[in-house]
């Protein structure tokens, strides 16, 4: 069974073609047109600009996905597709609308069923891609604990089975990826901050330290806004060339104009990264201690961070080596459409069982975007 998926929730236009073979997800192609360079001039994603770029990129990205999957063109290959999956939230409304309308058009003209997918669910299913991880191996995987770390979310999620989610904890303010991006602006690195901060942190010395937010809070929540502010104050104290009022009043730009030496930047990056990761690790272990989890799943853009992977792996193995750890491949950590294939397939199978597929006749008419779509 071939599945085509479309993702436009933020600043990547992505299309993938996957095939389900003997209960395994094989990705035949995944194409991503990134807009990062465009948005980096503003220090973050500008929603209307993102939507305009998606409109430009959707058809070429679709063609690229078909070609990479071994078809001559979309026109020649669409007959193979049995299902179309599309992100309908959460994300930026103007960006989501472009992808959903595109997928609706394909569904209407090609006469294929359309499946709306939660973007967060996609991130959680990224470790299932091209792996020896059968969708049917329920007994070995569930109950699973998921940690979703991206630019918009920081969530601890319990999965008792496929497509079943219970949120155990989340961030009270900034998401962890957002904090990486903001700290990158403070030390003048540009956007997106995560990879730049973690690269620079490798050159840093442990000269500064920040306290781990909500360390003893007793719950499974996170907070990264205070940590980001602590980095800002430290940077202002070190530099002395800007006042707090000046940096807060600055128009959107990739940096705040705080002058720091290369060493100060690297030391700040190291201290921030280490503290943020410690917070993620502590709450993950706290959640695992609730007991009974067979596996741990990591997903989202920040899952690309090597230090996070190392520290999680080490501490989970130390706590209970029988817990299986599933990390996504790095190419599937950021926004992509390949991660939508497993949930699209699972939802289709489940719904088909319930309704013998009737609900898919012209179902594209009923699907709407939801920028605040929750995972449940």
Among 64, 158, 178, 335, the residue binding Zn ion under the rule CB under 5 A is 335
Binding footprint of Zn ion, residue count (CB under 5 A) = 2
- Measured from the CB atom, is 169 or 301 closer to Zn ion? 301
Q: Which region among 65-73, 106-114, 159-167, 334-342 touches Zn ion (by CB under 5 A)?
A: 334-342
| Residue span 280-319 as binding mask against ligand KG4, x where in contact by CB under 6 A, dash where not | --------------------xxx-xx--------------
x/- mask, ligand KG4, residues 65-104, rule CB under 6 A, reads: ----------------------------------------
272 CA to centre of own chain: 20
Q: Could you tell me which residues come within 8 angstroms of residue 245 by beta carbon, excluding any fewer than 6 positions away?
A: none
Burial of residue 25 (CB within 10 Å: 0-12, 13-18, 19+) is buried
Interacting partner of 195 out of Zn ion, ligand KG4, none (Cβ under 5 to 8 A depending on kind) = ligand KG4
Q: E strands of the chain, at which residues?
A: 2-7, 12-21, 24-34, 81-89, 114-118, 144-149, 154-161, 164-170, 295-299, 324-326
Residue 8 in the binding site for Zn ion (CB under 5 A): no
150 interacts with ligand KG4 by CB under 6 A:
yes
Long-range contacts formed by 208-211: CB under 8 A, 24+ apart = 208/234, 208/267, 208/268, 208/270, 208/271, 209/271, 209/275, 210/234, 210/271, 210/272, 210/275, 211/275
Tokens describing residue 54: 């998606």
Stretch that binds Zn ion, among 37-45, 216-224, 312-320, 328-336 (CB under 5 A): 328-336
Binding mask 345-364 for Zn ion (x = CB under 5 A): --------------------
Bridge partner residues of 298 (DSSP): 147
Toward Zn ion, which CB reaches closer, 288 or 373?
Answer: 373
Interface residue with ligand KG4, options 198, 274, 275, 295 (CB under 6 A): 198
Q: Binding of ligand KG4 at residue 181 (CB under 6 A)?
A: yes
Please spell the DSSP secondary structure of 122-136, one letter per residue: HHHHGGGBTSS--TT
Q: Tell me the number of residues near ligand KG4 by CB under 6 A.
A: 20
Separation between Cα atoms, residue 184 and residue 227, nearest integer Å: 13
With CB under 6 A as the contact rule, the residue among 102, 128, 180, 326 that binds ligand KG4 is 180
**DSSP structure string for 251-283:** PS-S-------HHHHHHHHHHHHHHHHHHHHHH
Binding positions for Zn ion, rule: CB under 5 A: 150, 335
Binding positions for ligand KG4, rule: CB under 6 A: 10, 150-152, 177-178, 180-181, 192-195, 198, 300-302, 304-305, 334-335
């Amino acid at each position: 069974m071939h599945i085509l998926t479309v993702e436009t929730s933020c600043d990547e236009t992505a299309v993938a073609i996957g095939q389900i073979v003997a209960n395994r997800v094989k990705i035949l192609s995944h194409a991503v047109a990134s807009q990062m360079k465009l948005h980096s001039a503003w220090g973050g994603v500008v929603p209307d600009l993102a939507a305009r770029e998606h409109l430009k990129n959707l058809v070429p990205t679709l063609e690229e996905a078909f070609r990479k999957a071994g078809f001559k063109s979309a026109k020649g290959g669409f007959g193979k597709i049995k299902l179309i999956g599309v992100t309908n939230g959460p994300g930026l409304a103007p960006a989501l609308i472009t992808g959903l309308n595109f997928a609706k058009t394909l569904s209407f003209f090609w006469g294929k069923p359309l499946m709306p997918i939660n973007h967060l669910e996609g991130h959680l299913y990224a470790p299932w891609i091209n792996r020896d991880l059968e969708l049917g191996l329920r007994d070995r995987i569930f109950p699973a604990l998921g940690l979703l770390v991206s630019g918009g979310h920081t969530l601890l999620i319990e999965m008792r089975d496929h497509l079943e989610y219970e949120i155990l904890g989340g961030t009270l303010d900034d998401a962890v990826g957002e904090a990486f991006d903001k700290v990158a602006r403070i030390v003048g690195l540009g956007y997106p901050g995560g990879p730049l901060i973690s690269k620079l942190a490798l050159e840093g010395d442990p000269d500064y330290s920040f306290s781990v937010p909500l360390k003893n809070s007793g719950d499974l929540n996170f907070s990264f806004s205070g940590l980001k502010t602590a980095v800002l104050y430290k940077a202002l104290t070190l530099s002395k060339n800007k006042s707090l009022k000046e940096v807060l009043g600055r128009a959107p730009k990739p940096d705040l104009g705080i002058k720091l030496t290369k060493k100060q930047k690297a030391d700040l990056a190291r201290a921030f990264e280490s503290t943020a990761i410690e917070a993620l690790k502590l709450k993950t272990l706290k959640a695992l201690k609730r007991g009974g989890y067979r596996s741990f799943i990591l997903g989202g853009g920040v899952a690309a961070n090597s230090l996070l992977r190392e520290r999680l792996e080490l501490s989970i193995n130390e706590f209970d080596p029988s817990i299986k750890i599933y990390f996504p491949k790095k190419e599937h950590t950021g926004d992509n459409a390949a991660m939508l294939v497993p949930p699209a397939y699972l939802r289709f199978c489940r719904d088909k069982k319930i309704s013998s597929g009737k609900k898919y006749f012209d179902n594209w008419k009923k699907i709407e975007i939801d920028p605040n779509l929750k995972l449940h």
